[in-house]
Structure formats: C-alpha cells, structure tokens
Structure 1
Amino acid sequence: MIAEYDDNTNALKARYVHGPGVDAPIVQYDYSAPSSFTRSWYITDQKGSITGRTNAAGTSLSVNSYSLYGQPDAANVGRFQNTGQINTEVSSTRLL
C-alpha cells in the first residue's frame, strides 16, 4: 500500500514509502491538510516486523511486540505489523 484516502472527501490521509524489499515500509507521511504533513519512521526487527515508529526527531511514537510465532500483541498500533505486512484485522476478535 502506498497511500490512504478519506472515504468521504477523497483527501489524502497518509502516504507510505517502502524500501527495496517486499513489505518493507520505511516512512509514513500523515496529512492534516493538503500541503501539511508529519513524517514518522518505521523501526523493524531482523524479520522485518514493525517494532515501533519514531517522529522526525527520533522520539518514540509507538512500540509493537509479537509472540514467538509472529502473533501481534493486542496493544500493537499501526497499519503494518508482522514482517511488515498490512494488518487486516477488522474486529476485536483478531479474526480476519
């Protein structure tokens, strides 16, 4: 995924920059207005799982963790999760 748009206004909400590998998000741009954005950087582990995000100053915005088998913790946040893939869960039951 490279971008998200608002369902009602079709305004750009977020843009994602990926690295050379598959499922390798590097940077997220969140748009509060058409010409105004904030940038955050993805932090990954050796498997490519998203373990956190920082702002441009390096301050931690979120920390994610996973079970030994890659199950995301219930407190994880963000669009991308285990091995950098898009989190597609749609309910609190954690079912797809």
Structure 2
Amino acid sequence: MTSRTSNRRIFAVALIVSLLVAGVASYYASAHPDGLEYVAEQTGFLDSAEDSAASDSPLADYQTEGVDDARISGGLAGVIGVVVMLVLSSGLFWAVRRREPADTDA
C-alpha cells in the first residue's frame, strides 16, 4: 500500500465519520442553552439580546429551512455544513499548496 492510497483511505474514513456525526449524532446533542446563553439568562440580560444577521438564513439554529421533521432538518444542516467546510478548506489548501518551481532553463 502506497502512502497516497493510505492518505486517501484515511481521508475517506474521516469524511464518512464526519458526515455520520453531523447527520446522525447531532440529533442527540443537548437542547439546553450554551454557557453564554445560560449566564445571560441567569443574570437577567437575555431579553436584551438581538438576533444575529444570519438568523433568517436557510440553516439558522442548526435547522434546515423548509424541512418539517426536526431530526432530518438538523441532520441535513449538519451534513450541509460538513460539505461546505470541505469545499472551502479544499479550495484554500489548493490555493496555498506548494508548487514546483518553474523550469528556468527554458
């Protein structure tokens, strides 16, 4: 087995695990507020919070707009997030990759 094959296999397994965690395990995540939200509620300034600029986006609140089933909606939002990050990070890695120097003998 070559190093290239091994790297591809590791990447494929990591991608499958990421998609499973995002699509399946995310449903079992805690529904309780995060730490900052909890402190804001306990100290009494939660009501003064404003919605974020992305509050009306298609994937707001870890749900997919237009999908009524909460389990499918959250899982789909997670899978979309993994795919978007894969595309963005792959593009970034491709843009900054090492390139062999141009042949100066020509």
Same fold (TM over 0.5): no
| Larger relative contact order (CA 8 Å, sep ≥ 6) | 2
The structure that is strand-richer by fraction is 1
Larger Rg: 2
* TM-score normalised by length of structure 2: 0.27
The structure that is helix-richer by fraction is 2
* TM-score normalised by length of structure 1: 0.29
